[in-house]
A and B are shown apart, each in its own frame.
Chain A
Amino acid sequence: MTDVPFPALSKESPSAEGVVSTWFVRDGESVQADQLLAEVQVDKVAAEVPAPRAGTVHLLVGEEATVTQGTPIARID
């Protein structure tokens, strides 16, 4: 089991909140390592979140959800 955290896009304020803009996978889908999972955004900075390993992905937050950097947004079993 591997958590996928919201990436730390703002180094200056580690507790900054961001938004999960788009999920590119569905809950329960099988994913490959490095497959694009989500696009996230903190202020004007957007980033892509790849899968850290292969497995079955479970989405922990919905699209447009606001979360603090570092918070797990998905889990891969």
Chain B
Amino acid sequence: MTITEQPVVPAPRGSHRLTTAKAMVEAIEIEMERDPLVFYLGEDVGPYGGIFSSTTGLQEKFGKERVIDTPISETAFIGLAIGAAVEGMRPIAELMFADFMGVCLDQIYNHMAKIHFESGGNVKVPMVLTTAVGGGYSDAAQHSQCLWGTFAHLPGMKVVVPSNPYDAKGLMISAIRDDNPVVYMFHKGVMGLPWMVKNPRATDDVPDGAYTVPIGEAKVVRPGSDVTLVTLSLSVHHALDAAESLFGQGIDVEVIDLRSLVPLDREAILESVAKTGRLVVVDEDYQSFGLSGEVAATVTDVDPGMLRAPVARVANPDTPVPYSRPLEYAVLPRQDRIEAAVHRVARA
């Protein structure tokens, strides 16, 4: 007798089940084995294994010379990664929370992102900056922000935002191999951590061995015909839950997971909106001057006539993330807000 809710389906051949966190670690491990120039540094990435399990077991495997605990000196160690990348190494530097960008932003946007340009292409900075984003667990205003719109706004860095184990592994391998600085933003809510509300899609079958997910390629994660819903990261899961519920109410939603913000896959957005004529953008980041406006402009820059209804945006209403749960949930783009927005757009 077995007690389990899972159907008895064997894992696909050549794959294994991983959480998003473990998929990320597996990608780093594969690349560190392949290339001795790859190393990882950050706060609590050694024996602790990363506060959000981004480096579990790596120091044990690769030693303290390649998986390095740093002092709480983000400017110094991110700058160190930049200099090492300039000299041909492949560093991965972890900024524990994206919210901490304020203490080291100069190294990120004036140095990491600009050296290739200022040198006229003569100096490359092949590094990855990993950072945890997002709220939903009452960590309040200084530890819950997404800020990917801010990183994506500043030229010179690629920005990737995986939402699931498959993309987490494939995008990490792509990021490490890329000759540009890549900001790799993982939402704490998609990591599959045992100590946080766990999304069922945060654990999934992942192919064995190395594979890449191309940077700059969005993915239709649910095909549909009535409304295009463009989103990313944890909001993909809320959007898929909403889409299932809406399907029962007669609305067929197409969900696009952007996966990368820089470069942005504008073709995927246009292709879907050309089909549905209706667009909802779901973004956990602040609404104004950010991703949701950029996605809307992607359509209106080409042909506003594609839209049969005004664009709806479900984003943080330009408010610091509150601590108290009912307040926090009120500003996050959760399923109820998403469904209401789709209804508005579908009716219009």
Question: Is there any pair of Cβ atoms, one from A and one from B, under 8 angstroms apart in the complex?
Answer: yes
Complex formed: what's the CA distance from A40 to B2 in Å?
18
| Interchain CB contact (< 8 A) of B194 among A41, A59, A62 | A41
Distance in angstroms from A50 CB to nearest chain B CB is 13
Complex formed: what's the CA distance from A61 to B17 in Å?
18
**B195 pairs with A27, CB closer than 8 A:** no
| Interchain CB contact (< 8 A) of B203 among A24, A30, A40, A41 | A24
Q: Report the count of interface residues on A (CB-CB < 8 A).
A: 24
A68 on the B face (CB < 8 A): no
The contact string, 1 if C-beta is below 8 Å from chain A, for chain B 1-42, is: 011111011110000111100000000000000000000000
A51 on the B face (CB < 8 A): no
B198 on the A face (CB < 8 A): yes
**A27 pairs with B194, CB closer than 8 A:** no
Distance in angstroms from A31 CB to nearest chain B CB is 10
Distance in angstroms from B340 CB to nearest chain A CB is 29
Distance in angstroms from A26 CB to nearest chain B CB is 6
**B3 pairs with A24, CB closer than 8 A:** no
Q: Which residues of B contact A58 (CB under 8 A)?
A: 2
A54 on the B face (CB < 8 A): no
Residue on A with the closest CB to B2? A58
Q: Which residues of B contact A59 (CB under 8 A)?
A: 2-4, 6
Complex formed: what's the CA distance from A30 to B13 in Å?
11
**A28 pairs with B195, CB closer than 8 A:** no
Q: Which residues of A contact B9 (CB under 8 A)?
A: 26
Complex formed: what's the CA distance from A19 to B197 in Å?
13
| Interchain CB contact (< 8 A) of A26 among B3, B8, B192 | B8
**A46 pairs with B10, CB closer than 8 A:** no
Distance in angstroms from A16 CB to nearest chain B CB is 15
Residues of B whose CB lies within 8 Å of any CB of A are 2-6, 8-11, 16-19, 192, 194-195, 198, 203
Residues of A whose CB lies within 8 Å of any CB of B are 19, 21-30, 39-41, 44, 46, 58-65
Q: Which 6 A-B pairs have the closest CB atoms?
A: A21-B194, A59-B4, A24-B17, A28-B8, A41-B194, A58-B2
